[in-house]
């Protein structure tokens, strides 16, 4: 959350930074010397510059680098974080930076600079193309994204120094781009803070309301949790389980608000405001601990989640159980291994922290192949999307499939399929195979026949009914959710129906008349039993256009256009 006073003091930050750095690497090593040189260079170049808070500008790169240190990332990423504003806010050139610090660090800084220049709320083609370049940097070196997230986190923590309009603009951008990106990469410690700060600045009244509701619970709850942790710890040791750590955490205000809404605005039904986290050495111990807890307390089975057997789409793993104690108090407990805990906190960045990679050439390059299979799937999706030439289509897909929450459904054989929220059996069918989608005629969800436009939910078992003599319907485009499904449906229709279609355009010189005439033209075409395959109405300056794709005899369509032009005094023609 917002920073303590000492974090605006350069001397304090410098001490904290080098204290943490020395814990990470040998002060006599080449890596340490590069980071030290980066700081000295940045300090000199930013000397005299101030932030809106009135503090020295160098404080911001230092705090950004401290965020990177929390992810246990390598010396190049740390240096890149310290230098991330050099190209944008000083007269240092890319070539100069490359000559001094090498190509890798210069690439990271240049990547962050280019990402920073993107105006996400500007929907112009130029800005959308810049967003495409953001993805290119993601593909080439994911560390660019880590630095940008660390930079944005510090900016969100100091957002109170901006005026209200700018605060809301930055918070909205963070909510749309950086929050889902940090969630997708599994950096939950940052994602949670992004979510909290966005909620605070975008919905201040709701934030203050929830904060006041839970403050009393928090005062009572923390003493209760300390005693409970002591009891659980003794019981585990009795059963020869020595946990790595047992700690409690307080649920963030933004998360409580979401649960509050789900529980019909009843704060007493939000059970996990306070929770205990138990970290053990192995998966076997996770389930042993679960059994011991269920012997000690009464579990609420509908509140149990096994994210070890069924991880979340972003790779999160843990056991979640909610229990009644002997006094009727309700407490949520999370159980996980140490490796799961590291991944759950810092996600994809964890792969850069593992010791076995430290001395490899690939580690120093920061290549995306150090990421797990789950993150690799994300990267492969992004690679495919880079082939999309239309920037607006690219942005739409990016928001739908990358920055959107997911559901997990199952095939009848038990295989897990990941889809965006709102997906239908048709999306599922195309996810399995193009031909299954193309010949899909029906679906069973949990053994019940359902319409093809049914929205799927996590845990559903989906079975597709196919018929080789049936083909995609134009109507499917109105309800499918995924780019993959839309693309295959459109491709099939183009290949098989386009020869029978005729494109027609009508021009309206008077916008007011166009709104009156539009339904009359549509009705006239329908009366002639000519099928309207597609309809698109647009304004361009003072003129309006109605573009139609019609299916029917070409001579009848020509005759119909002539009649409409004559009756309504229009300029309609076949394209």
pLDDT in tens, 236-273: 999 999 999 998 877 788 878 877 776 665 666 665 67
CA distance 146 to 74: 11
Enumerate residues 6+ apart whose C-beta is below 8 A from 145. 137, 138, 181, 185
**Residue 121: pLDDT over 60:** no
pLDDT score for 356 = 35
Q: Which two tokens stand for residue 449?
A: 């026949």
**Residue 370: pLDDT over 80:** no
**Residue 516, H or E segment:** helix 511-527
Which DSSP string corresponds to 368-382? GGGS-HHHHHHHHHH
DSSP state of 3: P
Q: Which CATH superfamily is domain 5-202 in?
A: Hypothetical protein af1432 (1.10.3210.10)
CA distance 105 to 97: 8
**Residue 175: pLDDT over 50:** yes
Cβ contacts of 519-523, under 8 Å, gap ≥ 24: 520/568, 521/546, 521/564, 521/568
CA distance 444 to 104: 52
551 pairs with which residues across the strands?
A: 501, 531
CA distance 514 to 520: 10
DSSP state of 411: -
Residue 272 in contact with residue 251, Cβ under 8 Å? yes
CA distance 405 to 399: 10
Residue spans per domain, the chain: 5-202, 205-347, 405-481, 496-574
User: Residues for the chain: how many in total?
Assistant: 575
**Residue 560, H or E segment:** helix 554-568
Least confident of 184-188, 426-430, 538-542, 544-548: 538-542
**Residue 205, H or E segment:** helix 204-238
Residues of the chain with pLDDT > 70: what percent?
A: 80
Residue 18 CA: distances (Å) to CA of 27, 63, 71, 354, 550: 9, 12, 16, 21, 70
pLDDT score for 81 = 96
Active site residue 89: yes
pTM exceeds 0.85 for this model: no
Least confident of 146-155, 159-168, 350-359, 559-568: 350-359
pLDDT score for 369 = 33
Average pLDDT estimate for 518-522:
80
CA distance 310 to 320: 12
pLDDT score for 96 = 94
pLDDT score for 213 = 76
Does domain 205-347 fall under CATH 3.40.50.300? My reply is: no
CA distance 86 to 109: 8
Cα 180 to chain center, whole Å?
A: 2
Least confident of 134-148, 283-297, 362-376: 362-376
Which is higher by pLDDT, 479 or 184? 479
The residue annotated as part of the active site, out of 2, 6, 44, 88, is 88
Which fold is adopted by the domain 496-574?
A: Alpha-Beta Plaits (3.30.70)
pLDDT, tens digit, for every residue of 179-198? 888 877 778 889 889 999 99
Maximum distance among all Cα pairs of the chain, rounded to whole angstroms: 93
**Residue 7: pLDDT over 70:** yes
The residue annotated as part of the active site, out of 14, 89, 173, 393, is 89
CA distance 425 to 406: 15
Cβ contacts of 308-311, under 8 Å, gap ≥ 24: 308/283, 308/336, 308/340, 310/408, 310/416
Look at strands 501-508 and 319-324 and give their pairing.
Answer: unpaired
Average pLDDT estimate for 479-507:
80
pLDDT score for 354 = 45
pLDDT score for 355 = 38
Any alpha helices (H) in 297-409, and if so which ranges? 338-346, 350-353, 361-365, 373-385, 391-397
pLDDT score for 153 = 95
CA distance 572 to 333: 68
Q: Which among 313, 307, 309 is positioned nearest to 334, based on CA atoms?
A: 307
Q: Which among 90, 79, 95, 88 is positioned nearest to 114, based on CA atoms?
A: 88
Cα 65 to chain center, whole Å?
A: 23
Q: Which among 401, 380, 390, 385 is positioned nearest to 128, based on CA atoms?
A: 390
Task: Give the 3-state DSSP-derived string for 85-152, with helices as H, strands as E and coil as C.
Answer: CHHHHCCCCHHHHHHHHCHHHHHHHHHHHHHHCCCCCCCCHHHHHHHHHHHHHHHHCCHHHHHHHHHH
CB neighbourhood size of 348 (10 A): 26
Which fold is adopted by the domain 405-481?
A: Ubiquitin-like (UB roll) (3.10.20)
CA distance 461 to 456: 9
Active site residue 306: no
Q: Say what angle helices 188-202 and 143-157 make with each other, to 10 degrees.
A: 40
Which is higher by pLDDT, 169 or 392? 169
Average pLDDT estimate for 458-474:
86
Enumerate residues 6+ apart whose C-beta is below 8 A from 73. 143, 146, 349, 352, 353
pLDDT, tens digit, for every residue of 270-293? 656 778 999 999 999 999 999 999
Enumerate residues 6+ apart whose C-beta is below 8 A from 87. 93, 94, 97, 109, 110, 113
Q: For residue 363, what pLDDT band results from cuts at 50, 70 and 90?
A: very low
The three-class DSSP label of residue 335 is strand
């Amino acid at each position: 959350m917002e920073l303590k006073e000492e974090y605006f003091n350069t001397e304090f930050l410098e001490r904290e930074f080098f204290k943490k750095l020395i814990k990470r690497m040998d002060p006599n090593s080449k890596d340490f010397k590069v980071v030290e040189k980066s700081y000295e260079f940045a300090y000199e170049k930013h000397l005299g510059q101030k932030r809106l808070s009135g503090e020295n500008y160098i404080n911001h790169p230092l705090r950004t680098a401290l965020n990177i240190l929390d992810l246990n990332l390598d010396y190049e990423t740390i240096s890149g974080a310290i230098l991330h504003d050099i190209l944008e806010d000083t007269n240092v050139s890319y070539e100069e930076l490359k000559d001094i610090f090498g190509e890798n660090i210069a690439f990271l800084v240049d990547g962050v600079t280019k990402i920073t220049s993107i105006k996400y709320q500007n929907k112009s083609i130029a800005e959308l193309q810049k967003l495409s370049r953001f993805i290119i940097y993601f593909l080439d070196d994911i560390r660019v994204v880590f630095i940008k997230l660390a930079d944005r986190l510090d900016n969100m923590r100091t957002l109170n120094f901006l005026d209200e309009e700018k605060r809301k603009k930055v918070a909205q951008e963070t909510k749309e781009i950086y929050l889902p990106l940090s969630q997708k990469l599994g950096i939950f410690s940052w994602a949670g803070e992004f979510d909290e700060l966005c909620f605070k600045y975008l919905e201040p009244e709701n934030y203050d309301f929830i904060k006041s509701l839970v403050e009393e619970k928090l005062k009572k709850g923390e003493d209760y949790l300390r005693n409970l942790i002591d009891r659980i710890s003794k019981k585990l040791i009795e059963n020869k389980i020595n946990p790595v750590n047992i700690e409690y955490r307080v649920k963030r205000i933004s998360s409580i608000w979401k649960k509050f809404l789900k529980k019909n605005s009843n704060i007493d039904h939000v059970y996990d405001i306070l929770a205990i986290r138990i970290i053990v050495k192995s998966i076997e111990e996770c389930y042993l601990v679960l059994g011991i807890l269920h012997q000690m307390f009464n579990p609420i089975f509908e509140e149990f989640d096994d994210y070890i057997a069924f991880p979340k789409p972003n790779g999160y793993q843990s056991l979640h159980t909610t229990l009644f104690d002997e006094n009727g108090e309700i407490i949520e407990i999370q159980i996980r291994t140490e490796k799961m805990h590291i991944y759950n906190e810092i996600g994809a960045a964890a792969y850069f922290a593992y010791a076995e990679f430290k001395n490899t050439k690939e580690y120093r390059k920061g290549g995306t192949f150090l990421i797990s299979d789950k993150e690799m799937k994300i990267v492969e999706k992004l690679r495919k999307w880079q082939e999309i030439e239309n920037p607006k289509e690219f942005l739409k897909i990016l928001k739908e499939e990358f920055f959107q929450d997911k559901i997990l459904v199952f095939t009848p054989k038990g295989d897990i399929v990941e889809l965006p929220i709102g997906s239908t059996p048709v999306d599922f069918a195309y996810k399995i195979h193009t031909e299954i989608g193309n010949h899909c005629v029906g679906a069973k969800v949990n053994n019940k026949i359902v319409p093809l436009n049914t929205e799927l939910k996590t845990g559903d078992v989906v079975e597709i009914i196919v018929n080789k003599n049936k083909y995609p319907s134009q109507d499917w485009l109105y309800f499918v959710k995924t780019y993959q499904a839309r693309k295959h449906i459109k491709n099939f229709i183009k290949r098989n129906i386009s020869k029978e279609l005729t494109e027609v355009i009508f021009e309206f010189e008077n916008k007011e008349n166009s709104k009156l005439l539009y339904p009359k033209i549509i009705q006239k075409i329908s009366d002639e039993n000519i099928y309207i395959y597609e309809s698109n109405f647009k304004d361009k300056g003072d003129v309006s256009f109605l573009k139609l794709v019609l299916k029917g005899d070409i001579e009848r369509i020509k005759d119909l256009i002539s009649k409409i032009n004559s009756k309504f005094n229009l300029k309609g023609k076949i394209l």
